[in-house]
């Protein structure tokens, strides 16, 4: 290995050998030959360097260390050489521009930021922030925190560098959109307002206490650097990418003269000519790349030439200088024969003299005049200045004692050698003087190389003037136009132009990027006297030529058929001319001045040392010269670009942006320029890019499948002959690499689809899964024209989703730690764990539906198959947990409800394999449960009614309430099962309805029996008060009627409804008949009390012995004491009996309809009994006491039953009218026959009596 300080002056052989060594490192088989800067070197798969002789006898560790150092040194040299090429691309781009239409990349999140975000959301949920929020928003944030932020998949996505703050925000936004859409509408508050308010609160939680202004500024700067980069920023970026030190950059930058546009354009011209020569050499030697078809060799040469011609056209289209807006180049048509142009050759295309007209700006500044003695001190003097052929300008006036001005005059001229005249005048005092007196003048011939600082010039004075030492201080600045590359005096002689050896003023003019002319000018002439186009010439230093008078340092320009010899007066001037002409000719050979020539003029060499040469010497001293002077055409740029692209991608992925593999605009610009300038084939570029992207994706980085698709489509199009970049040739290596990448990419995509839940968590990156499926379809295509059959794609996706089901379930069980619990836990714990696992499974499938279903929308049946496989894996654990449960355990029903509620609402899974398996597993359990519940309810009815106390409980008794609750609960339980199979569900419903009918029937019959027994034990006197138990029994019957409507009616088809209606009508009839009989029995019991009252009144019947005794006794006693009115106690007692029992019924019987029916029947029966009793005494006159008692009973009963809601038609029935008529007649009879009358009791007035 050469010492870094070696230079080309020692030997060209070792340098070329070293370059070949560099190429081997860059283009070897080792894919990862260079590590990215700042990272440990990867193990090299290429050929190791030979150990040095000194290490031959050392230990293996010493040899390995030596090999490592040598390998690192080779890699460093490759990176330095690469950086030189990259610098040139940045310094003078002529093919590419920085793109401005690329998608903006967001800053990626890291682990620390994720932890901070978690803490901020946890603080909000704990109420530790000042953000005011309602319950709905808090629930949304809690769900987001639990499901998304705490997910290990999100942590992995953050670790892979593919997650940004925008991803977090989008997931929250989608979550709340679903929630807000499901909320009810609120007047005056739109859902869009709620959404924007929630997003604003989310942003406040996410930001925390950060300074918003700082963040905004930082984001703005980052956004600018992401979009457009300056040259300095690009240099700095690629220093980091390639691991170049700052001082190395400075050395290379200065030595390469990157700030000199002319040098860079000349470098490009040399490179392009070198590539053309290389193509010619390749054609002569028949050394081609190995193509898939032999005929592509000639096509390849044509492609090389056309690509170089395109680059030449691009370079030609650039403006010559970015200097002044006034100068515009005249483009010349390039031909193969346009190498030499002069004014005397008519056979070739000529440059006209107008093509090389120059424009100069002169600034003349007059400072002062010295040695003025011939004029009185108080006289006025002034100066004039002019450029011959132009206008004349004048300074201000000054006194002769102080002739100072500092006046500047600006002129423009087209003369490269203008004549400048400055004159000094004084005002004439004579009366007849027409002009002012000239005191002196100076004539100058400045050039663009003249000194620009003020200098003293001796003035020419008139004859006999006293001012013999008159001098003027002035400065003349003549600016150099941008297309004037060099100028000065040279001796020259040629065969076609400048045929006499003579000193002339020469100007090197650039007419276009590829056209330069050497022009000689005379004084006061704007057009050149003679000119020579430099294309095709080779310039070089020569030794002094004998026979020429004038000139010390010689150089020449040689072309086939012509030689022009030039000579300058000093070495430095010669070096500058040769360098300028070297850039203009575009020659590959670089002239080097001989040491002998430098020794001949040491003063000039040291005094006017060229800065570029100084930088070149400094670079050579540090071992950089070989990288600077290296010929780009001798390098394998395909291999070098592969290294450059790999380092750039590593740097990009390790940067602060979530790039997903996309380069930044600045990186794209440099890579595009490199490929165009150094002829890197587009297919090779994209194949290398694909290889790198696939490697990063395999190692866990998030790569945008759209980017993979773009590069793959380019390569596929190229391989199948579609010429995406105009290149029609295809190498064997490119085709083989494409096939390898295609297979590798197919494996990667299938793996990503199999792990879609973990490669694209929560649908992030946006649309990536859909793009992955689209790319998979493209990869499976045999060529670019024939689409792959849909069934083949479906087959591959089905296989991936089958794997995905196993992967998802395995990771889920690992997360829930199910395997451990199912083998060791108690049955209750197993059931609890399997229930939790079922919830997780449902959550997984819901997330799949929410985040991934759109991507798989082409194959919904495959997603259903995926879910079925997923559930089949779950069913194994579920069956094991169910088998561990005891036979009489009903705790597993919540598991069925959870799973069934999810499955029945999914049209693709409802009644699928797992759903049917679930039903089969629970059918025996449901049937057994119903059997046991039926037996239990029947026993509870029997025992309950035997021990029933008939105390009121809610709407009935304790037994009836328990019965109806159990029946309703059982039916609700079965209903909540939502059994999916219609036939079995109908069977269950029918059985439960029949069971309810049978149970209610039994309850009603037992209640009637108890009711009758209770009535038999009740008294028949006015002390009778209806017991609460009787009311409770009535309420049980009433409630049974209501419950039967709910528990016994079956929904079914029309035919079945008719059959069931027949069965159900018997229950209704039974209940209705029972209630009717109960009312009848109760009314009979109540009416029996009235019959008892009437039997007591029968004692006062007319003509009976008992009646006479009672009348006499009352009259005799009335003389001595206040005897109560006979019969009033009976009436009052009965009326109190009626009223209290009415109140009891009204208060304790629940059904108003049956109360009214009972009151109607009671009233009608009472009137009927009274009517019958009076009819039996139709021929007898009523005793006065009988009359008073009946009047009061009838009238009070009428009023009381009317108040209880008995209708007028019932109140005024025939029996009542008969009774009323009879009592009215009896009342009239008594009032006529008995003077005492009824003592204030009247049928007419009874309505107004109290009590």
**pLDDT tens-digit series, residues 276-295:** 888 888 888 888 888 888 88
pLDDT surpassing 80 at residue 1239: no
At residue 887 the predicted structure's pLDDT band, cuts being 50, 70 and 90, is confident
Q: What is the mean pLDDT of residues 611-615?
A: 61
* Residue 920 phi, psi (nearest 5): -60, -35
Comparison of pLDDT for 1159 and 1245, the residue scoring more: 1159
pLDDT at 350: 67
pLDDT surpassing 60 at residue 424: yes
Comparison of pLDDT for 690 and 1130, the residue scoring more: 690
Burial pattern 1031-1063, b for ≥16 Cβ within 10 A else e, equals bbbbbbbbbbbebbeebbebeeeeeeeeebeee
Q: What is the mean pLDDT of residues 567-577?
A: 91
The H or E element spanning position 1200 is helix 1184-1203
Q: What is the mean pLDDT of residues 420-442?
A: 84
| pLDDT per position as a tens digit, 802-815 | 999 999 999 998 88
| pLDDT per position as a tens digit, 472-492 | 999 999 888 888 889 999 999
Instruction: Look at the chain and count its residues.
Output: 1251
pLDDT at 1122: 52
pLDDT surpassing 70 at residue 10: no
pLDDT at 323: 36
pLDDT surpassing 80 at residue 1078: yes
Comparison of pLDDT for 54 and 390, the residue scoring more: 390
Q: What is the pTM (predicted TM-score) of this model?
A: 0.74
pLDDT at 356: 82
Task: Give Cβ neighbours of residue 490 (< 8 Å, ≥ 6 apart).
Answer: 503, 504, 506, 551, 566, 567, 568, 577
pLDDT surpassing 70 at residue 542: yes
pLDDT at 603: 43
| pLDDT per position as a tens digit, 70-111 | 999 999 999 999 999 999 999 999 888 888 877 778 888 888
pLDDT at 1237: 55
Q: What is the mean pLDDT of residues 1132-1139?
A: 92
pLDDT surpassing 80 at residue 19: no
C-alpha–C-alpha distance, residues 348 and 337, integer Å:
7
- Calculate the average pLDDT of the chain: 82
pLDDT surpassing 50 at residue 336: no
C-alpha–C-alpha distance, residues 451 and 350, integer Å:
35
At residue 607 the predicted structure's pLDDT band, cuts being 50, 70 and 90, is very low
pLDDT surpassing 60 at residue 846: yes
| pLDDT per position as a tens digit, 236-286 | 999 999 999 998 898 888 888 888 888 888 888 888 888 888 888 888 888
C-alpha–C-alpha distance, residues 521 and 234, integer Å:
43
Residue 277, both tokens = 């020569």
- What is the three-class DSSP state of 1198? helix
pLDDT at 625: 78
pLDDT at 596: 53
Helix, strand, coil shares of the chain as percentages rounded to 5?
Answer: 60, 10, 30
Closest CA to 652 of 683, 693, 700, 705: 693
- Asked if 610 and 575 touch (Cβ cutoff 8 Å), the reply is yes
pLDDT at 39: 40
- Residue 1117: CB atoms within 10 A of its CB come to 11
Task: Give Cβ neighbours of residue 495 (< 8 Å, ≥ 6 apart).
Answer: 561, 562, 563, 564
Most distant CA atoms of the chain, gap in Å:
198
C-alpha–C-alpha distance, residues 1210 and 1062, integer Å:
34
pLDDT at 1238: 63
- Asked if 475 and 365 touch (Cβ cutoff 8 Å), the reply is yes
pLDDT surpassing 50 at residue 515: yes
pLDDT at 1054: 45
Q: How many helices (H) and strands (E) does the chain have?
A: 40, 16
Closest CA to 544 of 513, 569, 578, 573: 569
| pLDDT per position as a tens digit, 1047-1063 | 887 665 444 455 545 55
- Percent over 70 (pLDDT), the chain: 84
pLDDT at 613: 60
- Percent over 90 (pLDDT), the chain: 35
| pLDDT per position as a tens digit, 1084-1116 | 999 999 999 999 889 888 766 555 565 555 555
pLDDT at 186: 76
At residue 610 the predicted structure's pLDDT band, cuts being 50, 70 and 90, is low
C-alpha–C-alpha distance, residues 1184 and 998, integer Å:
58
Q: What is the mean pLDDT of residues 15-41?
A: 40
Q: How far is CA 283 from CA 279, 985, 1137, 1224, in A?
A: 6, 86, 135, 148
Dihedral, CA of residue 496, residue 501, residue 505 and residue 509, to nearest 10 = 30
Helices in 817-956 by DSSP H: which ranges?
818-824, 827-851, 860-883, 893-904, 913-946
Count CA within 13 A, CB hemisphere, residue 930: 23
pLDDT at 1112: 54
pLDDT at 604: 43
- Asked if 702 and 160 touch (Cβ cutoff 8 Å), the reply is yes
Q: Beta partners for 422?
A: 385, 442
Q: What is the mean pLDDT of residues 13-40?
A: 40
Task: Give Cβ neighbours of residue 805 (< 8 Å, ≥ 6 apart).
Answer: 866, 867, 869, 870, 873
pLDDT at 605: 40
Chain centre distance of CA 1070 = 69
C-alpha–C-alpha distance, residues 248 and 1021, integer Å:
128
pLDDT at 58: 52
pLDDT at 650: 93
DSSP letters spanning 1044-1111? HHHHS-----HHHHHHHHHHHHHHHHHHHHHHHHHHHHHHHHHHHHHHHHHHHHGGG-TT-HHHHHHH
Q: Beta partners for 404?
A: 368
Comparison of pLDDT for 854 and 357, the residue scoring more: 854
């Amino acid at each position: 290995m050469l010492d870094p300080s070696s230079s080309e002056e020692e030997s060209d052989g070792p340098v070329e050998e070293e370059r070949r060594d560099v190429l081997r490192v860059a283009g070897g088989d080792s894919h990862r030959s260079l590590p990215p800067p700042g990272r440990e070197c990867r193990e090299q798969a290429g050929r190791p360097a030979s150990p040095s002789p000194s290490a031959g006898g050392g230990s293996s560790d010493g040899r390995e260390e030596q090999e490592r150092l040598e390998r690192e040194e080779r890699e460093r040299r490759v990176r330095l050489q690469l950086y030189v090429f990259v610098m040139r691309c940045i310094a003078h781009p002529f093919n590419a521009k920085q793109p401005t239409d690329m998608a903006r990349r967001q800053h990626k999140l890291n682990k620390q930021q994720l932890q901070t975000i978690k803490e901020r959301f946890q603080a909000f949920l704990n109420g530790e922030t000042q953000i005011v929020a309602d319950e709905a928003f808090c629930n949304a944030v809690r769900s987001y925190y639990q499901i998304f932020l705490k997910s290990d998949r999100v942590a992995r996505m953050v670790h892979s560098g593919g997650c940004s703050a925008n991803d977090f925000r989008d997931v929250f936004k989608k979550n709340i959109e679903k929630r807000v859409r499901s909320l009810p509408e609120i007047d005056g508050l739109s859902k869009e307002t709620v959404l924007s308010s929630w997003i604003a609160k989310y942003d406040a939680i996410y930001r925390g206490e950060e300074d918003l202004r700082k963040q905004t500024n930082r984001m703005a700067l980052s956004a600018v650097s992401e979009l457009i980069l300056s040259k300095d920023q690009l240099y700095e970026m690629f220093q980091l990418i390639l691991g170049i030190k700052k001082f190395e950059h400075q050395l290379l930058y200065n030595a390469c003269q990157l700030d000199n546009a002319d040098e860079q354009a000349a470098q490009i011209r040399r490179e392009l000519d070198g590539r053309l020569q290389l193509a010619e050499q390749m054609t002569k030697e028949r050394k081609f790349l190995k193509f898939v078809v032999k005929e592509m060799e000639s096509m390849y040469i044509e492609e090389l030439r056309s690509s170089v011609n395109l680059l030449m056209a691009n370079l030609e289209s650039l403006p010559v200088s970015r200097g002044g807006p006034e100068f515009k180049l005249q483009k010349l048509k390039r031909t193969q024969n346009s190498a030499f142009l002069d004014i005397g050759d008519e056979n070739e295309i000529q440059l006209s003299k107008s093509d090389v007209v120059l424009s100069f700006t002169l600034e003349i500044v007059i400072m002062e005049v010295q040695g003025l003695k011939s004029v009185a001190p108080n006289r006025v003097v002034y100066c004039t200045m002019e450029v011959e052929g132009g206008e004349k300008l004048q300074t201000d006036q000054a006194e002769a004692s102080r002739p100072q001005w500092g006046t500047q005059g600006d002129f423009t001229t087209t003369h490269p050698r203008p004549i400048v005249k400055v004159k000094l005048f004084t005002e004439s005092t004579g009366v007849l003087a027409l002009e002012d007196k000239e005191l002196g003048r100076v004539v100058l011939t400045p050039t663009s190389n003249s000194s620009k600082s003020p200098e003293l010039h001796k003035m020419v004075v008139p004859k006999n003037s006293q001012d013999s030492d008159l001098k003027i201080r002035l400065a003349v600045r003549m600016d150099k136009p941008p297309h004037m590359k060099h100028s000065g005096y040279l001796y020259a002689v040629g065969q076609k132009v400048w045929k006499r050896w003579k000193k002339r003023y020469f100007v090197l003019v650039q007419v276009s990027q590829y056209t330069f002319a050497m022009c000689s000018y005379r004084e006061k002439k704007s057009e050149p006297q003679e000119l020579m186009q430099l294309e095709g010439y080779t310039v070089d230093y020569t030794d002094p030529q004998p026979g020429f008078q004038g000139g010390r340092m010689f150089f020449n320009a040689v072309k086939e058929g012509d030689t022009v010899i030039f000579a300058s007066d000093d070495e430095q001037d010669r070096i500058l001319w040769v360098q300028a002409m070297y850039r203009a000719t575009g020659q590959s050979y670089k002239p080097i001045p001989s040491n002998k020539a430098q020794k001949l003029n040491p003063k000039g060499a040291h005094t006017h040392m060229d800065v570029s040469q100084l930088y070149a010497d400094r670079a050579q001293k540090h071992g950089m010269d070989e990288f600077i002077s290296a010929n780009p055409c001798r390098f394998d740029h395909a291999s070098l670009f592969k290294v450059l692209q790999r380092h750039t991608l590593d740097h990009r992925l390790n940067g602060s942006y979530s790039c997903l593999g996309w380069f930044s605009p600045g990186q794209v610009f440099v890579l595009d320029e490199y490929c165009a300038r150094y002829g890197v084939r587009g297919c090779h570029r994209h194949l290398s890019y694909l290889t790198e992207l696939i490697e990063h994706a395999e190692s866990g980085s998030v790569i945008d499948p759209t980017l993979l698709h773009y590069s793959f489509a380019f390569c596929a199009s190229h391989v199948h002959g579609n010429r995406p970049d105009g290149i029609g040739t295809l190498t064997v290596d490119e085709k083989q690499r494409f096939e390898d990448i295609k297979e590798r990419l197919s494996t990667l995509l299938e793996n990503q689809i199999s792990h879609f839940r973990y490669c694209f968590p929560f649908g992030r990156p946006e649309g990536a899964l859909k793009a992955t499926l689209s790319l998979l379809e493209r990869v499976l295509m045999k060529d670019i024209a024939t689409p792959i059959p849909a069934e083949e794609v479906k087959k591959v996706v089905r296989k991936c989703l089958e794997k995905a089901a196993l992967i998802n379930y395995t990771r889920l069980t690992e997360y829930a730690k199910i395997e451990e619990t199912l083998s060791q836990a108690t049955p209750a714990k197993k059931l609890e764990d399997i229930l939790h696992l079922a919830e997780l499974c449902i959550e997984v499938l819901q997330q799949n539906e929410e985040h991934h279903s759109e991507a798989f929308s082409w194959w919904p049946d495959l997603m259903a198959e995926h879910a079925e496989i997923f559930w089949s894996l779950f069913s194994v654990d579920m069956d094991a947990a169910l088998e561990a449960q005891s036979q009489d355990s009903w705790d597993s029903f919540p598991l069925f409800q959870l799973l069934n509620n999810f499955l029945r609402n999914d049209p693709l899974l409802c009644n699928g394999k797992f759903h049917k398996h679930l039903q089969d597993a629970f059918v025996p359990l449901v049937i057994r449960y119903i059997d046991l519940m039926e037996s239990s309810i029947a026993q509870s009815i029997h025992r309950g009614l035997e021990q029933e106390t008939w105390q009121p409980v809610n709407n009935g008794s304790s037994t009836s309430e328990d019965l109806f609750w159990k029946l309703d609960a059982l039916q609700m339980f079965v209903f909540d099962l939502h059994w999916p199979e219609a036939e079995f569900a109908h069977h269950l419903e029918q059985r439960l309805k029949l069971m309810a009918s049978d149970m209610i029937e039994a309850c009603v019959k037992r209640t009637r029996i108890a009711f009758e027994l209770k009535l038999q034990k009740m008294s028949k006197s006015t002390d009778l008060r209806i017991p609460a138990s009787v009311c409770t029994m009535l309420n049980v019957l009433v409630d049974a009627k209501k419950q039967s409507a709910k528990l016994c009616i079956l929904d079914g088809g029309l035919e079945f409804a008719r059959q069931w209606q027949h069965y159900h009508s018997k229950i209704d009839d039974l209940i209705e008949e029972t209630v009717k009989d109960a009312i009848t029995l109760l009314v009979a019991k109540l009416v029996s009390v009235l019959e008892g009252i009437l039997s007591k009144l029968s004692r006062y019947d007319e003509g009976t012995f008992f009646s006479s005794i009672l009348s006499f006794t009352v009259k005799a006693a009335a003389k001595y004491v206040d005897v109560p009115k006979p019969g009033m106690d009976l009436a009052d007692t009965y009326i109190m009996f009626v009223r209290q029992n009415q109140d009891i019924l009204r208060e304790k019987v629940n059904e108003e309809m049956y109360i009214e029916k009972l009151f109607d029947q009671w009233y009608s029966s009472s009137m009927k009994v009274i009517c019958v009793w009076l009819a039996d005494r139709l021929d007898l006159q009523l005793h006065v006491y009988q009359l008073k008692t009946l009047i009061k009973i009838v009238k009070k009963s009428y009023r009381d039953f009317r108040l209880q809601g008995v209708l007028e038609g019932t109140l005024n029935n025939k029996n009542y009218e008969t009774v009323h008529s009879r009592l009215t007649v009896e009342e009239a009879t008594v009032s006529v026959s008995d003077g005492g009358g009824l003592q204030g009791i009247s049928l007419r007035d009874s309505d107004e009596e109290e009590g």
